[in-house]
Every structure is written in C-alpha cells, then in structure tokens.
C-alpha cells in the first residue's frame, strides 16, 4: 500500500470514513457497469495517489507516478472491473438467493405441517403423600448394620 510504506492510521481511518460516506451517497444514484467502473476507477486512482502522498517519508519531495509498473496498473484495473461487476450484479444475486431461501422455507413449512407430535399423556393429579414418601425414601435411606454382618 502506498508505494511500500504505511500511511498514518488516523489519516487512513478518516479517508475510509469519507470514502464510505461518499460511496454510499453516489452508489444509490448510478446504476450500470460503465458508471460503476468510472466511479470505482476514479476513487481508486485518487485514493492511491493520496495514500502514496500521505505515506511519503519526505513531504517536500515530489512523489512517483500513480502506478509505477504495468503490472500494478493491470492489477488495479482487474480489481476495479471485478468489483464493478459484482456491485452491479449484486441485486440480481440477492434476488436469486432470496428466491432459493423462500423455496427452502416453503419446503420446511410443508414438512412441519404434515408432522404431528406424539400424543401427550393425560395429566396425573399429584398425590401429596406419595410425593412426601418419595422424598423421604430418597433422603432417609435404610439405617442399621449391613444385612450380612
């Protein structure tokens, strides 16, 4: 990130909040692959340049090019394209997942509606003397010497 140097954490956190806020505001208005590519490409280029500038150890010296190698440019372009495709197709994928879950819930509802629990036994009226004798049998065991002693 930023030419191999790490930018200040506070600046990075502030930029993250700013980009997230701006991205959420703009994403609602622009649909389609081309506008999404333009938005993501512009934001990625500006953040790359800004983070490179912020992480610069010597602020007085001019920075290097925004993308120093063709491999870096190709990687950024591929990431931007993949993210744009995923973001524009997210609503379609969400609808497909929702339809699958809706079918699963309907199937579970059908299975549960045909299933009936085992009949419960009739309630038995408790006898207080029986309960007391059970407690006393448990707590006051037989006393005395063993039978074979």
20 domain-assigned: yes
Task: Report the number of distinct structural domains present in the chain.
Answer: 1
33 domain-assigned: yes
In tens digits, the chain (149 residues) has pLDDT values of 445 566 677 877 888 788 778 777 776 676 788 888 888 888 888 777 777 777 665 555 555 555 567 887 888 889 889 988 888 888 788 888 999 999 999 988 888 777 677 777 777 777 777 777 777 776 666 666 666 76
Other beta carbons within 10 angstroms of residue 13's beta carbon come to 10
17 domain-assigned: yes
36 domain-assigned: yes
What is the per-residue burial (b if ≥16 Cβ within 10 Å, else e) of 123-133? eeeeeeeeeee
pTM: 0.48
- At residue 118, the pLDDT reads 74
- Give the count of alpha carbons within 13 A of 135, CB side only: 5
28 domain-assigned: yes
106 domain-assigned: no
73 domain-assigned: yes
72 domain-assigned: yes
CA 141/CA 146 separation, integer angstroms:
13
The residue range of the domain holding 40 is 9-58+65-96
- At residue 99, the pLDDT reads 92
| Cα-to-chain-centroid distance, residue 1 | 24
């Amino acid at each position: 990130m930023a030419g191999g140097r790490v930018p200040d954490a506070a600046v990075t956190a502030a930029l993250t909040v700013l980009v997230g806020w701006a991205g959420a505001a703009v994403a609602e208005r622009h649909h389609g692959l081309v506008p999404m590519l333009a938005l993501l490409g512009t934001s990625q280029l500006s953040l790359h340049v800004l983070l490179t500038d912020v992480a610069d150890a010597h602020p007085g010296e001019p920075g290097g090019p925004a993308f120093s190698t063709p491999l870096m440019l190709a990687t950024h372009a591929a990431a931007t394209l993949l993210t744009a495709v995923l973001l524009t197709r997210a609503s379609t994928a969400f609808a497909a997942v929702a339809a699958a879950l809706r079918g699963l819930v309907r199937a579970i509802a059908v299975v549960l509606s045909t299933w009936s629990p085992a009949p419960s036994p009739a309630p038995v009226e408790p006898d207080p003397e029986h309960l007391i004798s059970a407690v006393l049998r448990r707590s006051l065991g037989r006393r005395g010497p063993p039978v074979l002693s």
